[in-house]
């Protein structure tokens, strides 16, 4: 981090950052309680540049960021509590029984055992959530309209640009562009800023999208902190200028989200005729008496379905995703625009020059583009051609996946794609080519927007972080700037951990994540910093399975304590206390066994712990945590993994409780507070008996950040889809005459030679990791073959766990190999 980032605010990295509470105590002690205190002083007059923020996050940009988050939270509450918005009236909570049916319930709650009052509260909460869901879907659509207006005069990136040295549209795009001239008169409405905020917090996706569309000025400018801060009052109300409103009308949309029409004009993917579809079918007049529920089939509902009045074809989200893929294929074939997912180096996340295809015809990163151009062009276009010889009634991206899998399993097809002159023998797909193909496919699953990810889901996940920041309320602290200085120092340290451990996942605490997010909102500066420090453009994965997140947080805690001799998560909840204690024996390898416990003791003895309540402190930032929705086939395996993790936490908690008792302290009961990845529910006011979140709840990907994440995904326009239920059960031990070594070698061989495409982004490197780790075990375990097989079993389970417990992309042959390995693992475990 440059000196400018911390000048006058944060101490050098080698020194301990100041306590979060020291400045607060000083201010409070010196303040006469009888006098009114202006709690807006810290953010009322921020020193912000009108140009792009440089030098990393500082106190003022971080406070401006918090101000925006508070405004988003205020907007969310206003929308949820606007009775009658989109024809959704609170009065329906009393009689519309369909609101509660067909939706999941809170854990331990049975609908037939709820009283009428509780049922009404639950229904009322879901009506409010539904308003926010529709509002959010419309906000993403408005952001897309604004994006298209900016891109209208631009030329899209081409494959030729990618092979041109120093091309301003590719190689030099990320570092040398001129910024967009942001002013208060040019910023969009708050709901669009909210979507823009979520888009930028997916750094590699944002770079890919802006680069592909040619929006270098937008990328370079980043979040216009000065203009945004000026447009938001100290009460977090939006105050746009009249010029800003007039400029926004050029997009064809009204300034207020709710003022836009309740129908959307959509082009039919089949006949290309414009059709008008409702945003929701859940609205009704206030005195209606027919139950209609909150699922709906409108464009902003979860079960969108519409019949084209021109061609009578059924239109749904699967068709729209396929239509996006066909459109991008047409751009590739007609204008040479590369497919999404093929722009950035898969390892570094940076643009890297592609060789001339006449010189290097089989460059791996461009494999998906070559495959579509040489093998699939006609087959893909025909999927949405009603005049084709064998049209499908409901084609989807699954059909594209099948076409790709069939193609890459054909030696002849691969030779044609790669321009190989070999006539015989197996033509292997290179590992990187498979990864890029999966990455390309991930851009289309359940995503029919022009962006690399579903922004509706991204905003939902960010909503959890917004809620945490509002609850912590650092913005109104008398020592707000000192707090910002402290968290910037911790962020600098966090980036050191990433730099020193390039193959590990570091998990931030809430304070670190605020600084990290603030830096990402200056994309060009963040890109330059991370590339300089780590040689990679560090991404911010906003979808991580909760088990993986917890494991990585343990490692981050351990590493931070070893490097900086301070506690990492300054929180007294049972989870953070348990994690701190669990590091004792491991850290003892570096310094004496009691050192980690001493760090915890210093934290408590100094008085800092008393100022960090368990339900409102800077603990693990888990807004990106997701949970795989269980299926009967997968339940056994996931239950085992989670039980093992839960048992480890229990043991650590008991140890922490015993130590606290010796010190005259008491830990919060484990059942009293949920793990810190959980947030207060939205859609209801605090202290309501029955609560549901306005947050993300999804069909197959449920954020574990809310204990009430149980609402059906059907009310959502889109969902943060991450993984699908696998069709097969976890492997069971199968007796075999094969030796352990032969079984491991067979698995490694199968993984090395089997070419496949998997569409789920979280499992992109599963086969790669499993192959490499299994091979390492073979090299290390020379004598005890059963022990080696047992280790491989752990490797298999760990890799699958990290990849969301997904077994569906195993071939039958690989699956059989895993069965055998589990047999050897069982033998090893049964031996004394």
- 485 or 740: which carries more pLDDT confidence? 485
Query: 619: closest CA among 787, 471, 730?
Result: 471
Whether residue 635 contacts residue 574, with contact meaning beta carbons closer than 8 Å, is answered with no
* In the block, residue with structure tokens 């308003």: 131
Provide the strand spans (E) within 609-692: 625-628
- 236 or 687: which carries more pLDDT confidence? 236
* DSSP secondary structure string for all residues of 78-102: HHHT-TTGGG--GGGGGT-GGGTTT
- Residue 104 is encoded by which pair of tokens? 């999941």
Whether residue 680 contacts residue 686, with contact meaning beta carbons closer than 8 Å, is answered with yes
Instruction: With cut-offs at 50, 70 and 90, classify the pLDDT of residue 332.
Output: very high
Specify the pLDDT at position 698.
27
- The burial of 373, by beta-carbon neighbours within 10 Å (0-12 exposed, 13-18 middle, 19 or more buried), is given as middle
- Rounded to a whole number of angstroms, the distance between the first and last alpha carbons of the chain is 54
CA–CA dist 120, 107 (Å, integer): 18
- Please state which of the ranges 22-26, 488-492, 536-540 shows the lowest mean pLDDT: 22-26
Specify the pLDDT at position 619.
56
Whether residue 478 contacts residue 487, with contact meaning beta carbons closer than 8 Å, is answered with no
CA–CA dist 527, 216 (Å, integer): 14
CA–CA dist 591, 558 (Å, integer): 12
Instruction: With cut-offs at 50, 70 and 90, classify the pLDDT of residue 743.
Output: low
- 685 or 350: which carries more pLDDT confidence? 350
Mean pLDDT, rounded, for 406-413 = 88
- Decide if pLDDT at 775 tops 60: no
Query: DSSP state, 299?
Result: T
Q: What strand order describes the sheet that includes 701-702?
A: 544-545, 625-628, 701-702
β-strand pairing of 625-628 with 544-545: parallel
Count of all residues that appear for the chain in the document: 832
* Cα distances (angstroms) measured from residue 655 to each of 116, 304, 599, 649, 714: 44, 51, 15, 10, 43
The vertex-293 CA angle with 393 and 190, nearest 5°, equals 90
Whether residue 675 contacts residue 664, with contact meaning beta carbons closer than 8 Å, is answered with no
Each residue's pLDDT tens digit, 367-378: 999 999 999 999
**116-151 and 190-200 helices, crossing angle to 10°:** 80
Specify the pLDDT at position 661.
62
- Decide if pLDDT at 830 tops 60: no
Provide the strand spans (E) within 362-426: none
Whether residue 539 contacts residue 346, with contact meaning beta carbons closer than 8 Å, is answered with no
CA–CA dist 214, 208 (Å, integer): 10
- 67 or 387: which carries more pLDDT confidence? 67
Phi, psi for 728 (deg, rounded to 5): -120, 155
- Decide if pLDDT at 565 tops 90: no
* DSSP secondary structure string for all residues of 152-185: TTS----HHHHTSTT-TTTTTHHHHPPPP---TT
Each residue's pLDDT tens digit, 715-738: 444 323 232 333 334 455 556 666
* In the block, residue with structure tokens 């944002």: 206
CA–CA dist 803, 506 (Å, integer): 16
Query: 132: closest CA among 91, 73, 201?
Result: 73
Query: DSSP state, 721?
Result: -
CA–CA dist 23, 27 (Å, integer): 6
Whether residue 323 contacts residue 315, with contact meaning beta carbons closer than 8 Å, is answered with no
CA–CA dist 601, 188 (Å, integer): 49
* DSSP secondary structure string for all residues of 111-139: GGGS-HHHHHHHHHHHHHHHHHHHHHHHH
* DSSP secondary structure string for all residues of 304-372: -EEE-TTT--EEEHHHHHHHHHHHHHHHHHHH-PPPTTSSB-TTT-SB-PPPPTTT-TT-GGGHHHHHI
Mean pLDDT, rounded, for 566-584 = 64
- Residue 736 is encoded by which pair of tokens? 């075999």
- 805 or 241: which carries more pLDDT confidence? 241
Each residue's pLDDT tens digit, 438-478: 999 999 988 999 999 999 989 998 988 898 899 888 898 88
Neighbours of 236 (CB within 10 A): 18
Which residues touch 747 (CB under 8 Å, ≥6 apart)? Answer: 770, 774, 792, 814, 817, 818, 821
Query: DSSP state, 376?
Result: I
Specify the pLDDT at position 514.
95
Instruction: For residue 739, give the 3-state DSSP assignment.
Output: coil
- Residue 663 is encoded by which pair of tokens? 């010190």
C-alpha R_g of the chain: 27
pTM of the model: 0.75
- The burial of 690, by beta-carbon neighbours within 10 Å (0-12 exposed, 13-18 middle, 19 or more buried), is given as buried
* DSSP secondary structure string for all residues of 455-497: HHHHHHHHHHHHHHHHHHTGGG-TTHHHHHHHHHHHHHHHHHH
- 592 or 443: which carries more pLDDT confidence? 443
- Decide if pLDDT at 612 tops 60: no
Q: Which helix (H) or strand (E) holds 626?
A: strand 625-628
CA–CA dist 438, 806 (Å, integer): 15
Query: 719: closest CA among 744, 706, 707, 702?
Result: 702
Phi, psi for 717 (deg, rounded to 5): -75, -45
Specify the pLDDT at position 686.
32
Whether residue 619 contacts residue 509, with contact meaning beta carbons closer than 8 Å, is answered with yes
Q: What is the mean pLDDT of the chain?
A: 75
Each residue's pLDDT tens digit, 65-90: 999 999 999 999 999 999 999 999 99
Whether residue 320 contacts residue 314, with contact meaning beta carbons closer than 8 Å, is answered with no
Whether residue 203 contacts residue 540, with contact meaning beta carbons closer than 8 Å, is answered with yes
CA–CA dist 408, 216 (Å, integer): 35
Mean pLDDT, rounded, for 253-261 = 97
Sign, Cα dihedral of 46, 49, 52, 58:
negative
Which residues touch 416 (CB under 8 Å, ≥6 apart)? Answer: 374, 375
């Amino acid at each position: 981090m440059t000196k400018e980032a911390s000048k006058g605010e944060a101490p050098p990295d080698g020194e301990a950052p100041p306590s979060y509470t020291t400045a607060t105590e000083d201010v409070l002690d010196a303040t006469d309680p009888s006098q009114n205190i202006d709690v807006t002083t810290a953010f009322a007059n921020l020193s912000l540049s009108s140009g792009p923020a440089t030098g990393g996050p500082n106190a003022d940009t971080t406070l401006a960021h918090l101000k925006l988050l508070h405004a988003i939270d205020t907007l969310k509450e206003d929308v949820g509590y606007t009775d009658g918005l989109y024809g959704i009236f609170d009065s329906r909570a009393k009689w519309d029984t369909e609101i509660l049916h067909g939706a999941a319930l809170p854990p331990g709650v049975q609908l037939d055992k709820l009283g009428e009052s509780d049922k009404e509260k639950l229904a009322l909460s879901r009506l409010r959530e539904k308003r926010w869901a529709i509002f959010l879907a419309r906000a993403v659509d408005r952001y897309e309209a604004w994006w298209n207006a900016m891109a209208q005069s631009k030329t899209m990136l081409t494959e030729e640009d990618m092979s041109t040295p120093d091309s301003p549209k590719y190689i030099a795009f990320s570092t040398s562009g001129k910024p967009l001239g942001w002013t208060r008169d040019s910023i969009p409405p708050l709901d669009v800023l909210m979507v823009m905020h979520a888009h930028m917090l997916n750094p590699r996706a944002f770079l890919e999208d802006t680069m592909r569309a040619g929006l270098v000025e937008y990328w370079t400018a980043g979040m216009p902190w000065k203009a945004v801060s000026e447009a938001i009052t100290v009460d977090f109300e939006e105050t746009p200028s009249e010029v800003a409103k007039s400029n926004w009308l050029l997009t064809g949309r009204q300034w207020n989200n709710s003022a836009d029409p309740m129908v959307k004009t959509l082009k039919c993917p089949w006949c290309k005729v414009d059709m008008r579809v409702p945003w929701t079918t859940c609205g009704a007049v206030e005195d209606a008496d027919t139950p209609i529920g909150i699922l709906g089939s409108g464009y902003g509902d979860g079960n969108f379905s519409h019949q084209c009045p021109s061609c009578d074809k059924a239109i749904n989200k699967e068709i729209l995703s396929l239509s996006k893929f066909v459109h991008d294929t047409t751009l590739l074939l007609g204008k040479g625009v590369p497919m999404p997912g093929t722009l950035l180096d898969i390892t570094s996340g940076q643009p890297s020059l592609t060789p001339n295809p006449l010189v290097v015809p089989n460059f791996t990163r461009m494999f998906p583009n070559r495959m579509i151009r040489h093998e699939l062009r006609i087959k893909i276009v025909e999927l949405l051609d009603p005049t084709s010889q064998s049209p499908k009634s409901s084609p989807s991206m699954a059909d594209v996946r099948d076409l790709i899998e069939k193609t890459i399993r054909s030696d002849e097809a691969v030779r044609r794609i790669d321009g190989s002159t070999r006539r015989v023998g197996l033509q292997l797909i290179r590992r990187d080519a498979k990864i890029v193909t999966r990455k390309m496919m991930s851009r289309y699953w359940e995503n029919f927007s022009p962006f690399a990810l579903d922004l509706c889901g991204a905003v939902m996940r960010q909503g959890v972080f917004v809620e945490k920041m509002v609850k912590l309320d650092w913005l109104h602290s008398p020592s707000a700037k000192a707090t910002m200085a402290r968290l910037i120092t911790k962020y600098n340290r966090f980036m050191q951990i990433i730099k020193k451990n390039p193959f590990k996942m570091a998990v931030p605490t809430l304070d670190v994540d605020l600084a990290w997010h603030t830096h990402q909102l200056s994309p060009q500066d963040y890109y330059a910093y991370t590339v300089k420090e780590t040689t990679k453009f560090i991404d911010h994965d906003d979808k991580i399975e909760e088990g993986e997140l917890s494991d990585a947080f343990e490692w981050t805690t351990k590493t931070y304590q070893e490097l900086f001799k301070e506690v990492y998560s300054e929180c007294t909840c049972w989870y953070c206390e348990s994690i701190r204690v669990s590091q004792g024996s491991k850290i003892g390898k570096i310094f004496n066994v009691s050192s980690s416990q001493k760090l915890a003791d210093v934290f408590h003895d100094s008085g800092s712990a008393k100022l960090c309540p368990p339900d409102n402190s800077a603990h693990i930032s888990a807004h990106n945590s997701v949970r795989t929705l269980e299926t009967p086939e997968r339940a056994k395996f996931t239950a085992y993994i989670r039980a093992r993790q839960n048992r480890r936490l229990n043991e650590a908690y008991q140890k922490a409780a015993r130590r606290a008792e010796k010190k005259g302290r008491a830990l919060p009961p484990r059942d009293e507070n949920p793990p810190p990845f959980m947030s207060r529910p939205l859609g209801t006011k605090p202290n309501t008996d029955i609560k549901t979140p306005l947050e993300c709840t999804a069909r197959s990907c449920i954020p574990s950040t809310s204990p009430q994440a149980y609402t059906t995904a059907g009310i959502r326009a889109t969902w943060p889809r991450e993984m699908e239920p696998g069709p097969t059960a976890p492997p069971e031990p199968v007796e075999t005459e094969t030796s352990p070594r032969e079984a491991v070698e067979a698995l490694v061989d199968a993984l090395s030679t089997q070419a496949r495409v998997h569409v789920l982004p979280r499992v992109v490197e599963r086969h790669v990791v499993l192959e490499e780790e299994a091979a390492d075990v073979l090299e290390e375990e020379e004598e005890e073959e059963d022990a080696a097989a047992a280790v491989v079993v752990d490797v298999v389970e760990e890799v699958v766990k990290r990849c969301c417990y997904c077994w569906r992309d195993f071939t039958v042959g690989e699956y059989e190999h895993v069965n055998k390995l589990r047999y050897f693992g069982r033998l090893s475990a049964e031996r004394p």
